[in-house]
Chains A and B, each alone.
Chain A
Amino acid sequence: MLLEVRDLHVEFRTRDGIAKAVNGVSYAVDAGETLAVLGESGSGKSVTAQAVMGILDSPPGRITGGEVLFQGQDLLTLREGERRRIRGARMAMIFQDALSALNPVLTVGAQLAEMFVVHRGMSAKDARARAVELMDRVRIPAAAQRVRDYPHQFSGGMRQRIMIAMALALEPALIIADEPTTALDVTVQAQVMDLLAELQREYRMGLILITHDLGVVADVADRIAVMYAGRIVESAPVHDIYKAPAHPYTRGLLDSIPRLDQKGRQLYAIKGLPPNLMAIPPGCAFNPRCPMAQDVCRTDVPPLYEVAGDHGGERVSACHFWRECLHDRS
């Protein structure tokens, strides 16, 4: 296994109390595999990724438990200097907003070249040549000229390509992409996702795709982990989850999006709001919004039940009534 997150806990200390952002998340990604982490804002999907990358803001953030095994090594026990050598070289991250992730006062060429100078000890000239190669690789037209441009001179899609080039520079084994196409228009989004998928296949990288978009997930993911209030509520191969979700939250999400190929029906709306992370409801965190909730849901935190999947592969659901949920649908 390339990356294994085990029982990760992260909390934020704020003036108003302790916000429990991640409450026992476990997931795994293999080389060449795409895991989509799906969730709404505040579900803890980005915080988990930040903890894995080692870029969590701390304070106020604090990892209070768990392990992050990357190529067999627990990253959480490493010193900052050691982590810095891994970050960028062996695991890299692509952010949502390329304009704020890139340095506005340096040319993109300088930012790309820096990777090779710092991690590979190359000369400035060689590094510059590699930067042009990379920009070519992510299909930026006229790379040799554009290497001297600043981030603001690129369009949104081109900037996201530069982010991808940066992440790929040192050929990492794992890439974490946090909402990589959310800020882009659909036609550009398709270009960027295609490029990312192609490069992933070519380099056999593990990819963790963090997103709220069920459509993007269906297009590229092998497995999905659905997060709610800092926990994984369902995890399954992509075909299983769309065919028959085994958690009422997943089902609600699927039913609440309008479809391009369907029309007319009233949209299903999940009632209420996601919980406040400083006061997560006892029992199952989803129970106040769940149409299937029973007494047990208000008292007992559901464990991850194993669900028999149609397509092989591990499948789990954190719902006491996963069987009923599954059958309701099919």
Chain B
Amino acid sequence: MTGPEPILEVSGLLKHYPLTRGILFKKQVGAVKAVDGVDFTLARGETLGIVGESGCGKSTLARLLVNLEAPTAGSIRYRGEDITRLSGRALKAVRRNIQMVFQDPYTSLNPRMTVGDIIGEPYEIHPEAAPKGDRRRRVRELLDVVGLNPEYINRYPHQFSGGQRQRIGIARGLALRPEIIVADEPVSALDVSVQAQVINLLATLQAEFGLSYVFIAHDLSIVRHISDRVGVMYLGRIVETGRDAEIYDHPTHPYTQALLSAVPVPDPRAREHRERIILSGDVPSPTDIPSGCRFRTRCWKARERCALEVPPLAVPEEFRLTTGPAAHDSACHFAEEKRVVPPEGPAASGDEPHTEPA
């Protein structure tokens, strides 16, 4: 990777939840492989978007990154130091710098605490971050930063709307001036018009505080909007990753192509021009991941090789000698570039959809 040095390096990350049988003598009979070998790096000031469907392990990944769960194997290096092995004081110091914004603004705020106490709570845990006398002032400042009236400091969460609550969650995430924010579906519970406000706020804060984001979402349009680089997850693994234009305009993995083609585009004229790839079936259970390529059970290109060999996440052979946007990491034996999102929408051509060619 070119550019600035990575602030976060994740390699070989694994989180398996054991499935046991028996009460006294527990016997492991299998495992839910929620995260099953994830590697990525995050540079300072960069936004990495992680997209995937429900059950692909993206939320578990978020919890691992902020150290809410310990991985089964693999490492997460923050400024070169593996944080999965830390404990006590050293862990606490790292946690200050990696904060999280949660999905559901209704359940992630304690209903019995005032907004001031919620946003100020990080200072109770990390007293060195702000002297006691200064905390109220800081909380007011934070409220102002996220676009809420500082006068609201004594109100309770139920007195706010969903979008305002998400702002409170963001203010809490910012309180300790972290370097990295892991946001797990931060806008998916919000209405469309409010979603845009929160996304714009996240972008402004990033510029202002030089934050790095890991932005996890299922909505591909939002991820494209906010991300510099994107990783597509399927069944616990990143199957394709690259810069946003590489993934969206030049996808080479069949899963990414299917995912992109399924997104409804808000332009009725795109209806006639788009090729839809409709996948058959559902995502397999993470307790029973298919051999070889994990996507092969739903893939229209799958051949014998796919059942035998696990495709590595690397630039596919076909593109290794090229320099174009198709040359990015894609875990597919038969990677092929295929454009599924119409360039700038057919609307740009100015064609009238109802006039027949003469």
In the complex, what residues of B have CB within 8 A of residue A263's CB?
Answer: 224-225, 244-245, 248
CB <8 Å contact, A187 and B221: no
| B159 within 8 A of partner (CB) | no
The residue in chain B whose Cβ has the minimal distance to the Cβ of A267 is B196
Q: How far is the CA of A253 from the CA of B226 in the complex (A)?
A: 18
A28-50 at interface with B (beta carbon < 8 Å): 40-41
A257 interface neighbour in B245, B266, B353, Cβ under 8 Å? B266
A204-258 at interface with B (beta carbon < 8 Å): 212-219, 221, 238-239, 242-243, 252-254, 256-258
CB <8 Å contact, B193 and A260: no
Q: How far is the CA of A311 from the CA of B276 in the complex (A)?
A: 26
Decide: A257 near B199, CB < 8 A? Known: A238-B268, A270-B193: no
CB <8 Å contact, B222 and A258: yes
Number of interface residues of B (CB under 8 A): 52
| B208 within 8 A of partner (CB) | no
In the complex, what residues of B have CB within 8 A of residue A157's CB?
Answer: 282
In the complex, what residues of A have CB within 8 A of residue B195's CB?
Answer: 256-257
Kindly supply a per-residue 1/0 record for chain A positions 168-210, scoring 1 wherever the CB is within 8 Å of any chain B CB and 0 otherwise: 0000000000000000011111110110000000000000000
The A/B interface has a contact count, at CB < 8 Å, of 141
CB <8 Å contact, A258 and B266: no
| B127 within 8 A of partner (CB) | no
A residues near B (Cβ < 8 Å) are 40-41, 155-158, 185-191, 193-194, 212-219, 221, 238-239, 242-243, 252-254, 256-263, 266-271, 273-274, 311
B residues near A (Cβ < 8 Å) are 53-54, 161, 163-164, 191-197, 199-200, 203, 218, 220-222, 224-226, 244-245, 248, 258-271, 276, 278-279, 282-283, 341-345, 347, 353-354
A-B interface, 3 closest residue pairs, ranked by CB to CB distance from nearest: A215-B264, A258-B225, A256-B196
28 pairs from A and B in contact (CB 8 Å cutoff): A155-B282, A185-B53, A185-B54, A186-B220, A187-B259, A189-B264, A212-B191, A212-B192, A215-B266, A217-B264, A218-B264, A218-B270, A218-B271, A219-B265, A219-B268, A219-B271, A239-B268, A239-B353, A256-B195, A259-B221, A261-B248, A261-B265, A261-B343, A261-B344, A268-B196, A273-B161, A273-B164, A274-B191
